[in-house]
Structure 1
């Protein structure tokens, strides 16, 4: 709808005496996006809260969702888009609920206000961010391979994949991001990772003993771990590589033991 790929990073984030509904991250640029949900018509209170949150969260993109918007509030959002720096973007989004036949009720979002030339701005920001991040990621993974040759195939993406089972059905996805870096278990590319649930459940004791509790929240992601080092922190790359390699070896070792156990049990 807005052309932004978002990842939620916090809900009910405290700012002064209020709480931001959702703080998200633009997956392409790493910038914070503030989302304020209002289930009724727009009002002055929520407009004021949005401006308060903006300073507290240090976000440059604000999405205000309401059932309907008064003309005064649409004008306020329009004024903000016209009189703030181009780095800032304010959206007023109407929420409707529709139902077709006997189907379940479904939400419909309609953009009531957005920055002028938003599509052009978005393409420009995305291209610049992707270009910078792509170069950094390629250099980071090349640096990793200089220190640990042959661990994975060269990559310019945020993720690389390492087999932890010989049949390739379980892989370790290692990533470097704009805020954090880490890894998690998932199924092979193209497979439904939910199919791994029985396998993970069967070996939960061994996995938790080696890797700790499964705290992954992503669909089909298991046993994630992360560290607060971003790909842009080049001075800490060697530190990050040391950490990632130590973690990778933990995953590989526990799956080596699991695979041996599965082989012993086979008839």
Structure 2
């Protein structure tokens, strides 16, 4: 058997001559942005290239798919420097970003330490990623990019800093969603349909269904003792009306009562189930109910979103 020889292409500018005109334009393509999403573990949806921040522009401005977290992505086809670190902070502030991604050729030790320090000393909602972009080739094959994450948020450490101050209900919610995330990862039929999200001490847990205009949301109500699964549409009444045209088919697919709720902006297509999550030994039943309903809602969205 003849094997190829793998080699690293050190000159990034042999492929992308200019950061903005070439690399940012390449990264903005959906298939390439997906590679970055896979590397950092968060689904990214591009909003704008060269997005204005006062008299400056951030390379890419994006949001998390199925959620409201704002991203900035700053590219640097060279070693990290203080100038770009300063820009990163400026752009994050100007955009109110919660996820900050710095893509570079090589991360200097002092800048790795700076990003690590920022992750340790910012709030639980803020996360910094330092990512090296590499180019590899096997013999004369096409050159392939690889994102190597060298610094990332320590979400567990940040959460632990805040758990002590959480109420009993918030601690229960956090634990419930953390175990649901593990349940998704360990269940192949659900893992191939949904990416497990970071758990938060709140009553909802969002899942992407491949659309930026709506997502599936799972809920727990500890006071009324019930679970909920829904299609949540933040601000698109036309989309809600479109789904409602198929109300009978939706209810038949869900296999139970469906409520069609409208507020000033947001709309919800929701089904509920009486359940008390205080009994941890029964959580697997709750996880199964929630994820089966999430899967049904994803199929509904695919079938009727025309």
User: TM-score scaled to structure 2, two decimals?
Assistant: 0.46
2:91 is matched with which residue? Answer: 53
Kindly state the Cα deviation for residue 139 of structure 1 after the two structures are TM-superposed. 7.1
Q: Which has the higher contact order (CA 8 A, sep 6+)?
A: 2
Distance 2:232 2:105 in 1: 46
1:97 is matched with which residue? Answer: 135
Match of 1:124 among 199, 224, 241: 199
SS at match of 1:130: strand
- The answer to whether 1:8 aligns with 2:37 is no
1:38 is matched with which residue? Answer: 76
Distance 1:153 1:84, change over 3 A: same
Distance 1:137 1:47 in 2: 40
SS at match of 1:235: coil
- Deviates most, 89-98 or 115-124: 115-124
Partner deviation per Cα, 1:127-161 (whole Å, 9 max, x = no partner): 943178355844779x75896465853588xxxxx
Distance 1:19 1:42 in 2: 18
Distance 1:37 1:149, change over 3 A: closer
Distance 1:54 1:8 in 2: 16
Matched length: 164
Aligned CA-pair RMSD:
3.7
User: TM-score scaled to structure 1, two decimals?
Assistant: 0.52
Q: Is the 8 A contact 1:28 1:126 kept in 2?
A: no
Q: Is the 8 A contact 1:18 1:49 kept in 2?
A: no
1:191 is matched with which residue? Answer: none
Structure 1, unmatched stretches of 5+, are 157-231, 239-251, 253-267
Kindly state the Cα deviation for residue 50 of structure 1 after the two structures are TM-superposed. 0.4
Q: Is the 8 A contact 2:123 2:158 kept in 1?
A: no
Distance 1:94 1:147 in 2: 46
